[in-house]
Chains A and B, each alone.
Chain A
Amino acid sequence: MSEAAALLEVQDLVKHFPVGDGLLARRKGLVRAVDGVSFRVPHGHTFGLVGESGCGKSTVAMLLLKLLEPTAGRIAFDGRDLARARGAALHEFRRRVQIVFQDPYGSLDPRQTILSALIEPLSTLGVVAGRARAVERARESIALMGLDPEVLGRLPHELSGGQRQRIVIARALAVAPQLLVLDEPTASVDVSVQAQILCRLEELKGAQGLTYLLISHNLVVVRSMSDVVAVMYLGRLVEVAAAGELFGTPLHPYTAALIRAIPLPDPEAPRVAALARGDVPSPVRIPSGCRYHPRCPYAERVCRETDPPLAEVRSGHLAACHFPGVASRAAG
C-alpha cells in the first residue's frame, strides 16, 4: 500500500456497548460493535469500508467523528490523537472532518430552508465571517453539486431525494473539510441519480483536495470509487487490499461470498451463488474462533477454535483467514 502520509490512522479501535435488560439496568451482555479495527487512509485517497448490516461500519464512522468515544484504541487525524483534542483543536477537527449520512431527509430540519441549513455550520464552525459571505459560500457550494441556486429558498420536502442528498453533500463541503466520511451516500437514491452523485464526488475529490472514507453495503459502488477496500464482518476487518486486487483475487471466503452474491446486470453472467450460509449472527453472541466460521462452507476444526489475525498474505493484501484463497481454489 502507498506510503504517502496518512490523513487518518486507526489503531486497534474497539467499541463495546453494554446491553441491559432495561428495568433493572443490570448488564446482560456486550455488543461488540467494533472489535479491534486498524487501517490508515493516506491524503487524497478513497478508502472503502464494506460490510453487511450490523458489521459495525457505521459505528466506525461515529467514532471517527467523535460522536462516540471508543472503548479502546487510537484514532489519529493528521498525526494528532483525537482522544486528546480539546477546545480550539476539537473545533478545528469538527470542521476538517465532515460526514454525509444515508438519509438526507433525516439530516435536514424539515422547517428550515436549504439556505439556513447551509449557513448554520458556516457560522457555528466560524468558517466565514458575516451573513453575506456565508450566503455566497452557500451558493458556491450548491453550484459545486450541480444544483440551481433557487433551491436555497426551498424546504426539504419540496425537493427530490436526489436533490436533498446533494444538498447534504454541499453542506458538508461548504466548510472546506479535508476528510469526508460518506456513510451509504447513495443508498436511498435511484441508479441514475446515484451515478450523478458519485461522478460529482469523484470530480470534487481532485478539485478540492479531499480524502474520502466511503462506507457502503454496495460492493459495486465501493469498487468503482475506492483505492483501497476493507471488508468488515462482525466488528472486525477480514480483508484489506487495493480495490482491483481485492475484487480480482479475494482471499477471504466472506469477500468471495459477497462478490458472488451480486446480481450482475447481464443475463449471460453466471448466476449469483449463495456461498455464505444463513444470516449474520448477532454481535452480542460472536462465534468462537473465526467469527465467520458458522457461515463458511470451508470451515475446519481450527476455524472453530482459533481466531485468525489479519495478516499480510500477498504484498499489500491482508486477510484474516486460516485458509486464504480457499474459495477461489474451490471454484476452480
Chain B
Amino acid sequence: MPPRDPGPPVLEVQELSLELGIRGRWVPALDRVSLRIERGEALGLVGESGSGKSLTALSVPGLLPANARVTGGAIRVMGEDVLGRSERELAGLRARSVAFVFQNPTTYLNPVLTVGRQIAEVFERSPELLDPSGRVAALSRGERRRRARHKSIEYLRLVRIPDPERIVDQYPFALSGGMQQRVVIAMALARRPHLVIADEITTALDVTVQAQILGLLAELRRQIDMTLLLITHDLGIVAQLADRVAVMYSGRVVESADVRRLFRAPRHPYSRALLQAVPTLHDDRTVFRPIPGSMPAITDPPGGCRFHPRCPEVFAPCAGTRPGLAPVEEGHTVACHLYGGGAG
C-alpha cells in the first residue's frame, strides 16, 4: 500500500529573523530560527528566559509585540505563507487555523461572560462549525444558539470538565485555576484549529493540577490528533508530551531531535548542561551541575557561537564563527563546531 500523502507540514518556520526596538535601536532577537511540525506531532520548544522561544511562538499567529519587526525568513501554516498578511487576514488565521493558549487563564477569560457565552462566541465568528454539511445559513437564530450551547457543553466534556451542563452557565471567577485553563483549552479546540500553541500553560498551576492538565493534553493528542507546539522551560513537560524537541539559546535553535534521542544523547554542550542542571528525584541530595555565567542580554550578544563564553568545550572557531545547524544523524541537527557543519 502506498504511504498516505502526509500533505504539507502543519507549521514550517524557515530561517525566521526578527528584531526588537529597544531604547531607540533595533536589536536582533531571533536569528534564523527554523522549525517544522507535521500533522499530529507535538514539538517541544524549550529554552530559558530570553532564549526567544515565546517570540518564535507569537510570530506564528501574528501576535508579535508592537516593537517587533520580522527581518527575514518565512512562516507557513498548512503550506500557506503567514508573513506579510494584513491584520484582518491574521485574525482569520487565528480564528480558524492557529489557536494560542497562554499561561494565565484569568487574563484570557472575560470575567463578565459565562463560560458558555465565551465558547459560543467562537461559533458566532465561525458559524460553519455548527453544521458540518454547510447549511448553517438556513438555521434560525434560535437553532444556532441551541446548537452553540450544545457544542459548548460537548467541548467542556472533551476537556474533562465534570458536570459540564452546570459549568456552562458559570462565570470564570467561580472556577479554580485548573478548571479555567480547561475552559481556555476548550475554547481553543472549538475552532478545530490545525495547530495548538501552548505557551507555558501549566506554569501558574499547582503540581497536582498540572498533572491533570498534562494528562488531558496527552489524551487529546490521541483522541483528536491534535498538532501541538509546546513552549516551556520545563524539560520534564517536554519529556512527557513532545515527540520532538528544539532547544533555543539566545535567539537561535541550537539543537533539534527526537525527544528520546535528545534526552538520551544530547549533542550540543548547552543541551547537555541544561539537562544536567535539573535535579531529579532519583538523585541523592545536592547533585547540581550549574551552567556558569548567564544567558547573554540580547542587546549585547557575544560573537560566533552565542554559548561559547559559557561552554566547557569551547575551542578555536567558536568565538569567531557562528556554527550552522547541521545534521549529525537522521532527524537530529546541531549548531556546534564540535560536529563540523561549518559556518551558518
Interface residues of A (CB under 8 A from B): 52-53, 160-163, 190-196, 198-199, 202, 217, 219-221, 223-226, 243-244, 247, 257-269, 271-276, 278-280, 295
Which of B128-136, B191-199, B233-241 is found at the contact surface with chain A?
B233-241
CA distance A264 to B208 in the complex (A): 14
Is B263 a contact of A267 with CB atoms below 8 Å? Answer: yes
Question: For residue B206, which residues in chain A have a CB less than 8 angstroms away from its CB?
Answer: 52-53, 217, 279-280
Is A263 a contact of B48 with CB atoms below 8 Å? Answer: no
Question: For residue B233, which residues in chain A have a CB less than 8 angstroms away from its CB?
Answer: 190-191
User: Closest approach, in angstroms, between the C-beta of B28 and any C-beta of chain A?
Assistant: 19
List 11 additional A-B contacts (Cβ < 8 Å) besides A263-B236, A265-B263, A271-B240. A52-B206, A160-B294, A162-B294, A190-B49, A191-B235, A196-B292, A198-B279, A220-B280, A224-B286, A261-B211, A274-B211
Question: For residue A224, which residues in chain B have a CB less than 8 angstroms away from its CB?
Answer: 279, 283, 285-288
CA distance A95 to B295 in the complex (A): 35
Of the candidates B208, B209, B212, B239, the one whose C-beta lies within 8 Å of that of A266 is B239
List CB contacts (< 8 Å) of B189-217 with chain A: 206-212, 214-215
Chain B 211-225, CB within 8 Å of chain A: the 1/0 string?
110110010000000
Question: For residue A257, which residues in chain B have a CB less than 8 angstroms away from its CB?
Answer: 208, 211
User: Closest approach, in angstroms, between the C-beta of B304 and any C-beta of chain A?
Assistant: 20
User: Closest approach, in angstroms, between the C-beta of A184 and any C-beta of chain B?
Assistant: 13
Is B85 an interface position by the 8 A CB rule?
no
Is B278 a contact of A269 with CB atoms below 8 Å? Answer: no
Of the candidates B211, B218, B275, B279, the one whose C-beta lies within 8 Å of that of A220 is B279
CA distance A272 to B277 in the complex (A): 21
Of the candidates A219, A267, A295, the one whose C-beta lies within 8 Å of that of B281 is A219
Question: For residue A160, which residues in chain B have a CB less than 8 angstroms away from its CB?
Answer: 294
Is B290 an interface position by the 8 A CB rule?
yes
Is B278 a contact of A191 with CB atoms below 8 Å? Answer: yes
CA distance A282 to B275 in the complex (A): 37
Question: For residue B177, which residues in chain A have a CB less than 8 angstroms away from its CB?
Answer: 279
20 A-B contacts (beta carbon < 8 Å): A52-B207, A191-B235, A195-B278, A219-B207, A223-B279, A224-B288, A247-B281, A257-B211, A261-B207, A262-B207, A263-B234, A264-B240, A265-B263, A267-B239, A267-B260, A268-B260, A272-B215, A274-B212, A279-B177, A280-B206
Is B176 an interface position by the 8 A CB rule?
yes
User: Closest approach, in angstroms, between the C-beta of A204 and any C-beta of chain B?
Assistant: 12
Q: Which residue of A lies closest to B216 (CB)?
A: A274
Is B48 a contact of A191 with CB atoms below 8 Å? Answer: yes
User: Closest approach, in angstroms, between the C-beta of B160 and any C-beta of chain A?
Assistant: 10
Is B301 an interface position by the 8 A CB rule?
no
Is A269 a contact of B283 with CB atoms below 8 Å? Answer: no
Q: Which residue of B lies closest to A224 (CB)?
A: B279
Question: For residue B176, which residues in chain A have a CB less than 8 angstroms away from its CB?
Answer: 278-279
Is A261 a contact of B240 with CB atoms below 8 Å? Answer: no
Question: For residue B239, which residues in chain A have a CB less than 8 angstroms away from its CB?
Answer: 263-267, 269
Is B218 a contact of A271 with CB atoms below 8 Å? Answer: yes
